[in-house]
Amino acid sequence: MSLTLVIANKCYSSWSFRPWILMRHLGIVFEEVVVPLAEPTTRDTLLQHTQSGKAPCLHDGDLTVWDSLSIIEYLAESVPEVPVWPKDRPARAVARSLAAEMHSGFMDLRAQLPMNMRRKVERLEPTPGAQADISRLEQAFAHARTNFGQGGDFLFGAFSAADAMLAPVVNRLHVYDVAVTPTTRAYMDRMMALPAWQEWNAQAREEPWTIAKYEKASP
């Protein structure tokens, strides 16, 4: 394979963060192209990479795969020797369910607490809708750790695609100083200690681009 991952701003792009941290942590070699958001040329540049006109997308030779979860599934099929998903079938089923729920849900949390890797850690009280999303996430974290996570530090023991899909939420909970359980906080700390996380975070902080709507979270 000859892989190129096209991503948007590391500071803000939750969708890009997911396949990137998975590939970097699991040692899947790829080239990287960054297309900054909210620029006059953004749309046209992305359309040169993918018909969706959105990031991320993955090029494997002449093939283009778009959408973060589709990229993850493509990688799971293309490099089966790499543990993208948990090996145990029940754990894998639950991990996929959680990843899909994250992919399509938690809209109030996303709207009120956008991902921002540069944001100063400062408390923002969640709206009732966002708090309901947070409570559901904490329930899911606890369920995964209790039932499948005893063999390692992550949701299903070893790091997997489920952790990658939830990485942006960890940033949100951290930078908005959301009150969470000790179980959730311990999981967040393990995620943020990953070398891949630290690499992404450092590069996000060095980016020159700023987008106002992501810098000012909703009250």
**102 and 79 assigned to the same domain:** no
- Which residue type, as a one-letter code, is found at position 91? A
Where residue 103 sits, what CATH number does that domain have? 1.20.1050.10
**10 and 69 assigned to the same domain:** yes
Q: For the chain, how many structural domains are there in total?
A: 2
Answer whether 154's CB lies under 8 Å from 187's CB. yes
pLDDT computed for residue 219 by the predictor: 44
pLDDT digit string (tens) for the chain, length 219 residues: 799 999 999 999 999 999 999 999 999 999 999 999 999 999 999 999 999 999 999 999 999 999 999 999 999 999 999 999 999 999 999 999 999 999 999 999 999 999 999 999 999 999 999 999 999 999 999 999 999 999 999 999 999 999 999 999 999 999 999 999 999 999 999 999 999 999 999 999 999 999 988 887 644
**18 and 46 assigned to the same domain:** yes
Question: Which domain range does residue 123 map to?
Answer: 89-200
pLDDT computed for residue 217 by the predictor: 61
The residue from 50, 68, 83 where one domain ends is 83
pLDDT computed for residue 87 by the predictor: 95
| Cα radius of gyration rounded to whole Å, the chain | 17
Q: Which residues pair with 13 in a beta bridge?
A: none
Q: Which residues pair with 172 in a beta bridge?
A: none
pLDDT computed for residue 212 by the predictor: 87
The residue from 83, 115, 144 where one domain ends is 83
Where residue 18 sits, what CATH number does that domain have? 3.40.30.10
CA distance 36 to 34: 6
Q: How many CB atoms lie within 10 A of CB 25?
A: 18
